[in-house]
Amino acid sequence: MEYREFGKTGFKVSVIGMGTYYDPSYIILARLLRLHRRKALKIAALRKGIELGINLIDTAEIYETEGIVAEAIKGFKRDELFIATKVWLTHLRYEKVLKAAENSLRRLGCSYIDLYQVHWPNPSIPVEETMRAMSRLVDEGKVRHIGVSNFSLEQFKKAQEALPKHELASNQVEYSLTVRRIEKDLLPYCEQNNVAILAYRPLAHGSLARVEGILAKAFQEVSLKHGGKTPAQIALNWLVNRSRVVFPIPRASRPERVVENAGAAGWRLDDADMARLTRAAGGQE
């Protein structure tokens, strides 16, 4: 596995992480019936990833997967893992943030969270109030680093201003070969300021693992040049190669897919491949 420093945290994080959001029906069944569909397979997939050196796992209180992460990390060295979770947007009042963090810690079976992220901005709650609680969690040692998710550049800067004692480590946003909105302003800012980007939906919901048409042709050419890399590996390598601050977090529910995704690290697309793929995806280089 290949590792990079995660923003300014000093922590070496695997360039490929693992996401754990399944789908709304999974969440509903888990919440109403305490039924976690295909739980053993999901745990096996996460454990396989950790065995392969992936140390970044992303979850959230809303996903109903913190318990799965807790089981998956059992027996591994806690201090080598980078566990990221999120507080939901209805829990952004001061007391609610503190309570949500306690609940996440309990479900994760951990004494601290490496990265605690505000899942979505909530304009009806002052970000200063949320960040006061986040700051307290760091001071108490319950959270190592604070992050946000789905924050625009302007919202990110405002959140940082509300945190005089700590620096925001990351912003988790959608980013893939086919969805590149963040390249306009957020990504350049994060590169200049060494803020990590957790790239969600890095496989565009799986569609980049089964490419068609012009894109398939470009993927095939690149694959031939690099010893038969799969579309998922190429799409993830494109992200890792695109910027040193980007950490894709593909979700994979089966061990063999995690093995495949881990194989997106440790090699490099060259400039010509990057340009070829970007053009085929309909974007500017």
Ligand X SMILES: NC(=O)c1ccc[n+]([C@@H]2O[C@H](COP(=O)([O-])OP(=O)(O)OC[C@H]3O[C@@H](n4cnc5c(N)ncnc54)[C@H](OP(=O)(O)O)[C@@H]3O)[C@@H](O)[C@H]2O)c1
Contact segment (CB under 6 A) with ligand X among 48-56, 139-147, 219-227, 246-254 equals 246-254
CB of 139 to ligand X, least distance (A): 25
* DSSP reduced 3-state for 170: strand
- In this structure, are residues 22 and 37 in contact, taking their beta carbons and an 8 Å threshold? yes
Size of interface with ligand X, in residues (CB under 6 A): 26
Q: In the set 48, 201, 242, 276, which binds ligand X (CB under 6 A)?
A: 201
Q: How many helices (H) and strands (E) does the chain have?
A: 11, 10
Q: Does 151 bind ligand X (CB under 6 A)?
A: no
Choose the catalytic residue: 22, 26, 63, 116. 63
Alpha carbon distance 237, 49 (integer Å): 17
Name the 3-class secondary structure at 86: strand
Q: Per the structure block, which two tokens stand in for 168?
A: 């925001």
User: Binding to ligand X by residue 237, rule CB under 6 A?
Assistant: no
169 binds ligand X (CB under 6 A): no
Report d(CA 76, CA 204) in Å as an integer: 30
- Residue 205 in the binding site for ligand X (CB under 6 A): yes
Report if residue 142 touches ligand X, rule: CB under 6 A.
Answer: no
Considering only 43, 202, 215, 218, the residue that binds ligand X (CB under 6 A) is 202
* Residue carrying the six token digits 């500017």: 284
Q: Return d(Cα 283, Cα 285) in angstroms, integer.
A: 6
Q: Is 21 a catalytic residue?
A: no
Note whether 240 binds ligand X by CB under 6 A: no
Position closest to ligand X via CB? 19
- Residue type at 203? L
Dihedral sign, CA of 39, 204, 114, 49?
A: positive
Task: List the interface residues with ligand X, window 60-119 (CB under 6 A).
Answer: 119
The reply on whether position 19 binds ligand X by CB under 6 A is: yes
Using CB under 6 A as the criterion, which residues of the chain lie in contact with ligand X when the complex forms?
19-21, 58, 119, 149-150, 172, 200-206, 209, 232, 249-254, 257, 260-261
Which positions are annotated as active-site residues?
A: 63
